Amino acid sequence: GAVVSQHPSWVICKSGTSVKIECRSLDFQATTMFWYRQFPKQSLMLMATSNEGSKATYEQGVEKDKFLINHASLTLSTLTVTSAHPEDSSFYICSARGDRGRVNTGELFFGEGSRLTVL
């Protein structure tokens, strides 16, 4: 099956620093990627939709200046948490929607997630 890889899988940072999380589709192209956030014992909440070559679309309540998303190529999207604070500590998951080709159009494939802890 198609593989989506996130890096890093676990990061600890000091309050006020910025952290970048990468999401790569390893064997397929993805025009569209999605970033989710998951709090303990809660559901995955969609943060934003990342579109290759254009600006991301953010969900209501998500600060676009805090969570910078860049989708520079058909296989890579990055989420940068700027000036991170302890309340940003969470599990961030990306998913990629397969374009035509090797994967079924429309099916989502998920990365393994990145756990961010802000001290």
Give the footprint of another protein on this chain (CB under 8 A).
4, 32, 34, 36, 41-46, 49, 59, 93, 95, 97, 107-113
Q: Tell me whether residue 10 or residue 85 sits nearer to another protein (CB atom).
A: 10
Neighbouring C-alpha atoms within 13 Å toward the C-beta of 113: 11
**69/64 Cα distance (integer angstroms):** 8
Closest CA to 83 of 93, 68, 61: 68
**Smallest distance, Å, CB 66 to another protein?**
20
**Smallest distance, Å, CB 16 to another protein?**
30
**Smallest distance, Å, CB 69 to another protein?**
14
